[in-house]
Amino acid sequence: MAPDNPNIFQDSRFKGKEWRPITHWGIREPQTTGPLAAPGHYAVRLTANGVTATQPLEILEDHEITSSPADLLASTHTQIRIRDDMNAAADLVNRIEVMRKQIETEKAANAGKADVLARLAALDRKMLDVEHQLVSSSDLNSDDKYYVETDRIYLNLIWLNAEVGSGGGDVAGGAEYRPTDTSLAVLDMIERDLGAAKASFDRLLREDVATFNREMSGRVQVISAR
């Protein structure tokens, strides 16, 4: 939910939908493009209608790329690492958004009950504090015209993915090279921030949400990250 735009789901882009993306200039490619595999032998597996088929696949070396096999493999491994971190960050945001949507529903159901509304608002603020470790308030508006806040974990991962992987926006990308020491140091830093966000989320569920559900039992529906 976007705190400064509570009616965002009435926007024609999202009306009638249960979800909305994080949008920003230049991020679509590094946000959605998977890691590039290094040359080698692989197996491709496809499952449809309960039937699984496997086919061998060989990715050939591009002789115009001068990087060594070890450098290309290091690039692939780093891209996979960033992808997994992006998925982890997105999962945390989605779970928080699910709970914040439940709070909005409970606010509507308990209009006029000042004490209940106050408790719901307090819990929502705590959830938003954790969410803001992962995405900024501007990101929650799904509007790429915003350039007013420092990028948080999710967008930092996306732009690093552009640098290390296939590019994005005005970033050319570097998938055909070994990731630089600086890129790996930045990834280490972002992963420390992601670890802290995960710890904050776990604490939110274990302490704040659990206390709210216990103390408000029978007055509101249980808040759950599902």
Sequence ranges of the domains in the chain: 23-215
Q: Please say if the pLDDT value at position 54 is more than 90.
A: yes
Q: How many CA atoms lie within 13 A of 55 on its CB side?
A: 6
Comparing C-alpha atoms, which of 129, 123, 131, 143 is closest to residue 91? 131
- Strands annotated E in the chain: 40-48, 51-59
Q: Give the pLDDT of residue 179.
A: 97
Q: Give the pLDDT of residue 208.
A: 98
Name beta bridge partners: 171. 168
Q: Give the pLDDT of residue 226.
A: 81
Mean of the per-residue pLDDT values for the chain?
92
Q: Please say if the pLDDT value at position 205 is more than 80.
A: yes
Give the Å distances, CA to CA, from 190 to 10, 39, 63, 152. Answer: 34, 28, 34, 9
Q: Give the pLDDT of residue 85.
A: 98
Higher pLDDT, 46 or 147: 46
Cβ neighbours of residue 143 closer than 8 Å, sequence gap 6 or more? 23
Long-range contacts of 148-151 (CB under 8 A, 24+ apart): none
pLDDT in tens, 1-42: 666 666 666 677 777 877 778 888 889 999 999 999 999 999
Counting residues of the chain whose pLDDT is more than 70, the rounded percentage is 93
The confidence band for 120, taking pLDDT boundaries of 50, 70 and 90, is very high
